[in-house]
Amino acid sequence: MSHSPASIPRRAVVIRHVAFEDLGSFTRPLVEGGWRIQYLEAGVDELDGAADADLLVVLGGPIGAGDERQYPFLADEVRLIERRLAVDRPTLGICLGAQLMARALGARVYGAGRKEIGWGPLSLSAAGAASDLSLLAPSHASVLHWHGDTFDLPRGALHLASTKVCENQAFRWSVRALALQFHPEVTAAGLERWFIGHTLEIETTPDVSVAQLRDATRRFAPALERRGPEFFRQWLARVL
């Protein structure tokens, strides 16, 4: 039986670096849109088939974007991202994924000088306020930050957002590529797994504790769980 092109579901390839950092609330818009979601486990799965996916999402993780001596697969990720950016295929990088996008575009990735872990607001640039990010950053809203590295803005990229700790929180490249240093995809339930998996980092970061993170999550996650999928759905409609 033959299938018309319209009956073939779009394919989203998602590169995951640790099992508990997944698509979170971004799963629902893809499922509702009839997408086929394929997770690739970094360091285990081959990435060759991801170059022509309808969407590539590169998620976060606890390693550095430049740690390819210990984690050679990072070089493969950078090459994959380079290929997609060169032809402007829909690509979203979150946290480590955003840093890898910056690397792929020739920008420097380096330690921020202090870790930014916890809930906090975004400051949008004029371009950011005119973008889909406006859905995530109304007044008094917070998103989750969880990183120790930052990056320079790639040449030719459009700066979208900043925080007091990191000037470059988000950028757009061309039309269909978006890099987000922060985490718009998290859910309160999913973060309980982060609190377990990142226990050592939490315990060794000054002024950060599980109790503090959990309390802030109770206050801010419900709104983000509503706004995150709305943002993702709108961004997808814009880039497809």
Q: Round to whole Å and give the CA distance between 94 and 214.
A: 21
pLDDT band of 139, cuts 50, 70, 90: confident
Residue-level pLDDT at 1: 40
Domain boundaries, the chain: 5-239
Asked whether the predicted pLDDT for residue 37 surpasses 70, the reply is yes
pLDDT above 80 (res 174) = yes
The per-residue pLDDT for 6 is 57
* pLDDT tens per residue across span 59-74: 999 999 999 999 999 9
pLDDT for 138 equals 86
The domain made up of 5-239 is a member of CATH 1.10.3720.10: no
Kindly give the interhelix angle for 96-104 and 73-86, rounded to the nearest 10 degrees: 70
Residue 162 CB contacts under 8 Å (≥ 6 apart), including other chains = 122, 123, 125, 168, 169
Instruction: Say how far residue 93 (Cα) sits from the centre of its chain.
Output: 4
Q: What confidence score (pLDDT) does residue 3 get?
A: 45
pLDDT by residue (tens digit) across 184-226?
A: 999 999 999 999 999 999 999 999 999 999 999 999 999 999 9
What mean pLDDT value characterizes the chain? 96
The percentage of residues in the chain with a pLDDT greater than 70, rounded to a whole number, is: 98
Token pair listed for 41: 């486990």
